[in-house]
Chain A
Amino acid sequence: MAIPDWLRRLRDRDVSAEDAALWTKCPSCGEMLYRKDLEANLSVCTKCNHHFRMSAYDRINTLVDGDFVEIGMEFLPGDPLGWVDKRSYPEKLEADRLKSNLTEAVVTGFATLDGFPVALGVMDFSFRGGTMGTVVGERITNLLEEARKRKLPCIVFTASGGARMEEGMLALMQMAKTTQAVERFMSDGNLFVTVLTDPTTGGVSASFAFQSDLIVGEARASIGFAGRRVIEQTLRQKLPDNFQTAEFLLEKGHIDMVVTRAELRATLVRLLDYAVDRKRVAPALKAVPEFAL
């Protein structure tokens, strides 16, 4: 039975801030999910299997064995274009810093996954839509260069709306910079794996996301070059629901596999096990001074 509007309004008003913090509504099936249950289930809806977007540090916590040694924190955003629209670019950065507890849209560092030492980069959509500006480009490049020095496999989780407008061409050039770092890293015989999470588009999709040895799509993630809205506006037609999903890309042959979040860690460990000699990479992390093994 449909709830009358007046009752719905009354009910919604009665949800206190405290309750709202405890409960999250699934945007896919509408189920109210107890936040602790949701977190315990890796931010996947317990009813419909909808994958919520994950923060970089939450993601890292679901993956690594113990310590995560972050690198690249010294690379912080500036304002190369002196960008101002409704707010200045530094104001937008500051707002996102407070909202996300991140200094930029990617977190990079070293860790072990089931004993495999890896260089790990995780992008976060909640900071400027995961867009790639100079700092994202710099941190990814730095991660690949540091991994290359130590002959470590590298795994990068992508989540990005594309290049960052407010850094203009300096942002676009990060595609060239990261590409060259990927190329050097892979030419040396190191394993590069990308995990494309929701959403992966534009400049990130058209550079390192699709340059790896193995490309894993997280279940139901939206992945593509042009944004859905751009295509719909250009063509003036509605796109099918499954267009640009990880499942669609798998069918078209663009990615190696689609994996649910629950299976992700175990899958990555298996992939590492196929391509990487555990004994050879084991001493590599000892070269990271902060890393306590």
Chain B
Amino acid sequence: MNVIVEREKGPLQELEARIAALRERETGDSSDLRDLEEKYRILLADLFGNLTPWERVNMARHPKRPFAGDYVDALDQFDELHGDRHLRDDRALVGGLAKLRGRRVVVLAQQKGRDTKENIRRNFGMVSPEGYRKAKRLMEFASRFGLPIVTFVDTSGADPGIASEEHAQSEAIASCLVALSKVGVPVVATIVGEGGSGGALAIALADRVIMAENAVYSVASPEGCAAILWGDAARAPEAAERLKLTSADLIGFGIVDRAIEEPLGGAHRDAPAFVARVLDAIDQELRVLEPRKSNELRDARYEKFRRIGAWENESRARLATALT
């Protein structure tokens, strides 16, 4: 059960229906409509104005939330490239060549499904080794041809199945990380929904990390963390609180560079405008990175992650300077 979806039912839905009905009646009294819209805004602020970390986890998992594919669809153009050249094409990780605000890029996107059928096809957005190997080959391609890499992260985590273990999930993720360390082109990663652990990081070792305001990015899913530490996945809301997985927390730690504000009530309330804002932000970041030489990019990327290691005083001081 998604706590945000539950909260959207009842009074909010009723108000939405009434506003829609009034709008249809072109002859209606416009002050009535304004009153209702005002009520609606107040109710929205009431319901979603101050989300807890667990509520943000649910927002990040909202079934109507713009998925990675919605961002890819909003690009100028996109040609999908398939397969890992060994075993199969993993539909949980979409990759290809694209144009973003006029420039050529390589895109990697973790894709969930909107319904059961698509979710089975997409493996619920959980990427298998084949998906990471496809990603790795496209990263290397991007580096050879000087194309920036743009990634969209939305996964509860890498696939934990038997086949994934047999096909060396660890090695596949580890190799993606190495590939991103090596590339001499700009890398911009955007956490659009769930950033689940190593499976997310595999395509997010980036020069700039952007995060949708209500996205979450964590070392383990709250359920996984609660199960590991307390043997009780039901304590996920508590784990979400402790894990410091919100965009505001991660900007504070210097792990995320920039958050994109969402409409009140979540990105799905005005998806096309939100998607455009995210693409604008990626465009801005790329414009800053593009003039830099390969070595400069690699060295800066090294330093960016090198200083994340809050072993007390020294790194705190370094973090403080980095944030100013």
Residues of A within 8 A of B (CB): 75-78, 80-81, 83-85, 134-135, 137-138, 141, 163-165, 167-177, 179-184, 187, 202-203, 205-211, 223-226, 230-231, 233-235, 239, 243-244, 252, 254
Contacts and interface: CB of A to CB of B under 8 A. Distances in A.
Residue of A206, A223, A226 with highest tally of chain B CB at under 10 A: A206
Given A168-B243, A183-B178, A254-B168, A163 B229 contact: no
Given A165-B228, A203-B198, A138 B309 contact: yes
Interface string B144-169: 00000000000000101110111011
A165 B242 CA distance: 9
Given A172-B198, A209-B174, A225 B169 contact: yes
B160 A234 contact: yes
A258 to B, nearest CB: 16
A137 B309 contact: yes
B177 A165 contact: no
Contacts of B264: none
Nearest to B256: A169
A85 B309 contact: no
B68 interface: no
A93 to B, nearest CB: 12
B171 A183 contact: no
Interface centre among A75, A170, A181 (most CB of B within 10 A): A170
A172 B197 contact: yes
B308 interface: yes
Contacts of A243: 162, 165
Given A174-B309, A176-B305, A177-B309, A163 B220 contact: yes
Instruction: Kindly list the 3 A-B residue pairs having the minimum CB-CB distance in the complex, ordered from nearest.
Output: A226-B160, A225-B169, A205-B170
Nearest to A177: B305
B162 A168 contact: no
Nearest to A208: B174
A180 B166 contact: no
- Residue from A223, A230, A239, A243 with most neighbouring chain B CB atoms (10 Å): A230
Given A76-B312, A226-B164, A226-B169, 13 more contacts: A76-B311, A138-B311, A168-B219, A174-B309, A175-B201, A176-B205, A179-B174, A180-B205, A180-B305, A181-B306, A205-B174, A225-B165, A226-B165
Interface residues of B, number: 51
B301 A180 contact: yes
Interface of B: 158, 160-162, 164-166, 168-171, 173-175, 177-178, 181-182, 197-198, 201-202, 205, 217-220, 224-225, 227-230, 242-245, 249-250, 253, 255, 301-302, 305-306, 308-312, 315
Given A80-B310, A169-B218, A183-B181, A231 B201 contact: no
Nearest to B220: A165
Given A169-B250, A207-B174, A231-B160, A175 B181 contact: no
A203 B310 CA distance: 18
Nearest to B315: A134
B219 A85 contact: no
A168 B165 contact: no
B140 to A, nearest CB: 13
A77 to B, nearest CB: 7
B178 A170 contact: no
Nearest to B229: A165
Contacts of A225: 158, 160, 164-165, 169-170, 173, 198
A170 B168 contact: no
B282 to A, nearest CB: 20
